[in-house]
């Protein structure tokens, strides 16, 4: 199963919360096959109280059009120093993807976490979060 980006599709609608991805139809995704789907930044939410003891944090949402439907991913992030942001919990990527392993089985959440984190790592999400924070992206 190869996923390709369809350029003729209209932009994906903005997602109000990352949890809205749970309402998207599930999309089967073959973990071992190369993917040509390009995820796009849908939005980033920043939560900051102004308290220096509670650093800025938030959520970021990414989505793509695949041949079989829309794929979405979202995760929490936290600013750990000025200009440095990190995924808050690598085990908590919210997605409608159901990752298929080499034997054709749907992976458990724990098994799929490594694959999902590889997808996240390949995205320019930190630049988008820094832009939302108003921090220069050097």
Would you state the CATH architecture of domain 21-133?
Answer: Roll (3.10)
Residues 99 and 28: their CA atoms lie apart, in Å, by: 6
pTM: 0.82
pLDDT higher than threshold 50 for residue 15: no
What percent of the chain is predicted at pLDDT more than 70? 86
Which pLDDT value is given to residue 32?
Answer: 79
| Contact in structure between 33 and 2 (CB atoms under 8 Å) | yes
Which pLDDT value is given to residue 16?
Answer: 53
Residues 47 and 78: their CA atoms lie apart, in Å, by: 9
Per-residue DSSP letters for 48-100?
--S-TTS--EEEEEEEEEETTEEEEEEEEEEEEETTEEEES-TT--EESEEEE
Among 6-10, 19-23, 93-97, the least confident range: 6-10
Which pLDDT value is given to residue 91?
Answer: 94
pLDDT tens per residue across span 84-112: 999 999 999 999 999 999 889 999 999 99
Which pLDDT value is given to residue 136?
Answer: 57
Annotated domain spans of the chain: 21-133
In the numeric block, which tokens belong to residue 61? 């949402």
pLDDT tens per residue across span 54-90: 899 999 999 999 888 999 999 999 999 988 999 999 9
């Amino acid at each position: 199963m190869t996923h390709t980006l369809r350029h003729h599709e209209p932009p994906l609608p903005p997602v109000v919360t990352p949890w809205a991805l749970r309402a998207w139809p599930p999309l089967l995704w073959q973990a071992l096959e190369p993917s040509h789907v390009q995820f796009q930044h849908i939005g980033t939410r920043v939560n900051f109280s102004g308290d220096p003891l509670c650093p800025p944090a938030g959520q970021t949402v990414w989505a793509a059009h695949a041949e079989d439907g829309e794929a979405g991913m979202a995760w929490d992030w936290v600013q750990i120093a000025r200009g440095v942001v990190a995924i808050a919990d690598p085990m908590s990527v919210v997605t409608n993807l159901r990752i298929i392993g080499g034997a054709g089985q749907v992976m458990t959440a724990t098994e799929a976490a490594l694959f999902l984190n590889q997808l996240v790592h390949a995205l320019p999400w930190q630049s988008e979060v820094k832009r939302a924070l108003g921090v220069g992206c050097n």
